[in-house]
Structure 1
Amino acid sequence: MAINYDEIMSLTSENVEISYTDKDSILYSLGVGFGNDPMNVDELKYVYENSQIALPSMATNFQYHSPLLLKANINFIMVVHGEQKLSITNPLPVSGEFLANAKVIGCYDKGPGKGAIIDVETTINLKKDNTEICKLISTTFARGDGGFDGPASPKKELIKPTGNPDCVHEITTKPDQALIFRLSGDYNPLHSDPNFAKAAGFERPILHGMCTYGIACRSIVESMCDGDTKKLKRFDCRFSSPVYPGETIITEMWKDGNNFYFQSKVKESDKIVIKNGEGELT
């Protein structure tokens, strides 16, 4: 069944209660590769409850609790994460109780056989006093759902930084990286089941886009923020190619005042996996 534009644009979820513990924060951090060197004290603070902190990109876990698109008529075998935006209002706690409000803010038709693009915005507030923590916009590329006579996809200007990057940082993923990361909430079999991955057109299970996003966030925090997570205020990007567990992700960064631009590529193939990366520092 084709996408019903009016129906999908009306999808919302309100005041969804979400809670997580310091153990959940540790699990996320392990999922993006922290702790590979247990003697690295800079990494230990993400995976050890003594003076523990949370990586800002962990906020994307909130999106798993408001799965609006499960109510939509789309082919989930052909779905991939297209873009992710994160605006941070207040530092992400390592544990707490929250309220999530989500809504579809855009649905665009790329045409028959070309897919659809769906934007979902999620706002997160502390439950106890309604303090806003962050706002997320997740863009889904539904590769099998174009041709529903919806509005055309708006053109977006590509960001092409010039000159040599100011910082370059690389992180090697482990062969079981996706199997660890999925425990934070994304159980899509595309990342764990070889037969499902092949049916979706991949040679084997791929790394979660949100894991690649978290690894890039690690590189930004370590290289552009001097390890201070509170300095990161905005972190946006487009996913352009999959990563396979075990590959090395190189993130290149360009600074422009309080703004920065970045891209990530796989070391083994030199293929760009994140592009149009941009963000803001305090």
Structure 2
Amino acid sequence: MPIDVAAATSAEPRSAELVWDHRDVILYHLGLGANTLNYALEGPGLQVLPSFATVAGGSAAAGEARGGLSLPGIEVDLAAVLHGAQRIEVHRPVPVRGRAVQTSRVADVYDKGKAAVLVLRREVADEQGPLWTSDAQIFVRGEGGFGGDRGPSARTTPPGTAPDRTVLRATREDQALLYRLSGDWNPLHADPEFAKHAGFDRPILHGLCSYGITLKAVVETLLGDDAGRVRSCSTRFAGVFFPGETLCIRMWSEPGRVLASATAVERDDAPVLADTVVEHS
């Protein structure tokens, strides 16, 4: 079997140093379309969206994420790999500049029948202690059915009521070209020929870009535009989104958390993000 669960989950973690400053933070925010001064101007008013944790360190962070697929016990075809879900838990506000160590490991392997799900965990800490924990769920098609644990259900059904808030977020045709400068150079998001080979009419937007856009919408709409209130943000990538489309973000506010969904307006509200939960103070 290409995935040896015991070997994968017991392998020694891999470490990498992450370094970032205000330029990386601002570039990331601009990649989301966040161009107001509190997200795009250096100085004491600059805040950091917690979703920046997915790109902090640029190529170093991305390299460690890909490296999780080459740990002992894992031999998979990258063409069968999909980013299925993402969760970030911040232990304290992400600083504008930092130097930290990221430790990566396979935390779990779940058996979904037709697919296996790898939970790649990245724990980041600096001299002051833990900064954030990131869990990426990676679906590997064709590698399920080995009799393992199916894992917990992360489905979160919104209340059967109208959303408390609904906002639209337009994206640019070149959104993916700007976002990829933060470290994700996958040609699927830039090269039309590569995208066609992968089965898409044109390049698709990074799922983590839609994730960041949605988190920002929640922060500015229901959290007083205070990114420091976010404690965690989880989501499931439910469908593709193309640069230039409009994201419709629906939000339901509950004590201590916001439930959200995101759909593509131009394609009859085709699902983009589902089971999205932002926990906050």
Q: How does the TM-score come out when normalised to structure 1? A: 0.89
Which deviates further from its counterpart, 234-243 or 6-15?
Answer: 6-15
Cα distance in 1 for partners of 2:103, 2:275 equals 27
Spell out, residue by residue over 1:137-162, the C-alpha distance to the aligned partner (whole angstroms, 9 max, x if none).
1111123x424725153351532212
Which deviates further from its counterpart, 1-10 or 160-169?
Answer: 1-10
Q: CA deviation at 1:178?
A: 0.9
Q: Which residue of 2 aligns with 1:260?
A: 258
Secondary structure, counterpart of 2:84 in structure 1: strand
Match of 1:53 among 35, 47, 59: 47
Q: CA deviation at 1:215?
A: 0.5
Q: Which residue of 1 aligns with 2:276?
A: 277
Q: What one-letter code is carried by the residue in structure 2 that aligns with 1:61?
A: V
Query: Relative to structure 1, is the Cα distance of residues 94 and 168 closer, same or farther in structure 2, using a 3 angstrom cutoff?
Result: same
Q: Which residue of 2 aligns with 1:187?
A: 185
Q: CA deviation at 1:251?
A: 1.0
Cα distance in 2 for partners of 1:200, 1:11 equals 31
Match of 1:79 among 43, 56, 81: 81
Q: CA deviation at 1:14?
A: 4.3
Spell out, residue by residue over 1:199-231, the C-alpha distance to the aligned partner (whole angstroms, 9 max, x if none).
222221111111010000111111111101111
Identity %: 33
Q: CA deviation at 1:61?
A: 1.4
Query: Relative to structure 1, is the Cα distance of residues 70 and 249 closer, same or farther in structure 2, using a 3 angstrom cutoff?
Result: farther
Query: Relative to structure 1, is the Cα distance of residues 157 and 218 closer, same or farther in structure 2, using a 3 angstrom cutoff?
Result: closer
Query: Relative to structure 1, is the Cα distance of residues 147 and 137 closer, same or farther in structure 2, using a 3 angstrom cutoff?
Result: closer
Q: Which residue of 2 aligns with 1:38?
A: none
The Cα RMSD (Å) is 1.9
Q: What one-letter code is carried by the residue in structure 1 that aligns with 2:53?
A: A
Secondary structure, counterpart of 2:133 in structure 1: strand
- Do the aligned residues in 1 keep the contact of 2:115 with 2:145 (CA within 8 Å)? no
Q: CA deviation at 1:12?
A: 4.3
Establish whether residue 158 from structure 1 lines up as the match of residue 155 from structure 2.
Answer: yes
- Which runs of 5 or more structure 1 residues have no equivalent in the other structure? 36-42
Write out aligned runs for 1:28-107 (5 A). Answer: 28-35=28-35, 43-50=36-43, 51-62=45-56, 63-67=61-65, 68-71=68-71, 72-107=74-109
Q: Which residue of 2 aligns with 1:246?
A: 244
Spell out, residue by residue over 1:136-194, the C-alpha distance to the aligned partner (whole angstroms, 9 max, x if none).
11111123x42472515335153221201111122111111111111111111211222
Q: CA deviation at 1:255?
A: 0.9
Q: Which residue of 2 aligns with 1:6?
A: 6
Equivalent residue pairs, number:
270
Q: CA deviation at 1:262?
A: 0.8
Q: What one-letter code is carried by the residue in structure 2 that aligns with 1:73?
A: E
Cα distance in 1 for partners of 2:258, 2:275 equals 11
Q: How does the TM-score come out when normalised to structure 2? A: 0.89
Query: Relative to structure 1, is the Cα distance of residues 86 and 6 closer, same or farther in structure 2, using a 3 angstrom cutoff?
Result: same
- Do the aligned residues in 2 keep the contact of 1:102 with 1:121 (CA within 8 Å)? yes
Which deviates further from its counterpart, 63-72 or 13-22?
Answer: 63-72
